[in-house]
Structure formats: structure tokens, C-alpha cells
Copies of this chain bind each other. A is one copy, B any other.
Amino acid sequence: MAGDFLLHARLEADTISLGRTDLCEIRLMNDRTWPWVLLVPRRPDIREIYQLSVADQQQLLAESSLLGKGMMGAFGGDKLNVAALGNMVPQLHLHHIVRREGDTGWPGPVWGLQAPEPYGEGELEAFLARLEPVLAELIKGVPAG
């Protein structure tokens, strides 16, 4: 029997809530190394994108594209990394990571590369100020297409 949605404990511990969209929890990876935001659909017992209903899949994509484009604009990235891996945390979550040429780990993937470097207090506020317009739009609601 399907239970209610509950954010996975590992995601709860590693990330900071930035609010919620129509479908997802928006979570900031607490690692100052790269701008890195997750979308976690509030659907119980979902591991893979294809397990979502078609409507939810399209909603996730619309939210992901708005978020990714906004992050790239806000942080001036060279390449966005978008990924649903879930080898460590099977609950479906979609990574959005702004990459710059020459950043830590470039051009390799960032997962498992190093221990996270948490944001300092003032640093987190400055980061969120840049992300604020995108978050506001995401939270207001994104039509699926």
C-alpha cells in the first residue's frame, strides 16, 4: 500500500528547503562548491522518472527547465548538469548543477567527488538573493507545456 510522501532522511540532512512547486520540494544542496538544486516530486514510492504519471513527468520537466535556465542565468554557468541518478538515495530527485569550465572536478561529474563544503551564513543569504527571482517564479506555478 502506498504511503504518504516523506522526504528521504539523507536528502533532509544534506539539503536546505527552498520551498515547493506544484509538484516538487525544492532543496539546495548544502555545498558552496557549485550552485546545486534538487527537485523532489512529492509522490510516494517513486524511484524513476518513468514511474510518474505522464502529467507529472511533464510537470517535472517544465519545472526543471525553468529552474535550470534560471540558475544558469543567475550564476553565469558554462554548462548545466541535469541528472536523476539515485544510486545512494533511491527516492526520485532531479539534480541541477551549474558548472563552469575549470570548476572543482571539471569536466567530470561532481557526485562523490569530495565532502560537501557547507555555506557560511552570509554566503547563503547572498546565494539565495541571486536565486530569488527564479524561486519566486517556480513557487508561483509553472504550466506543464
Binding site for B on A (CB under 8 A): 47-50, 54-55, 57-58, 61-62, 64-66, 68-69, 72, 79-88, 90, 99, 106-109, 111-112, 145
Contacts and interface: CB of A to CB of B under 8 A. Distances in A.
B79 A90 contact: yes
A58 B59 CA distance: 10
| Secondary structure call for the A interface | mixed
Contacts of A62: 54
A17 to B, nearest CB: 24
Contact of A84 (B50, B83, B88, B108): B83
A65 B50 contact: yes
Contacts of A83: 81-85
B107 A109 contact: no
A107 B86 CA distance: 9
A49 B106 CA distance: 20
Q: Which of A50, A55, A66, A84 has the most CB of B within 10 A?
A: A50
Contacts of A64: 49-50
Contact of A69 (B50, B58, B69, B84): B50
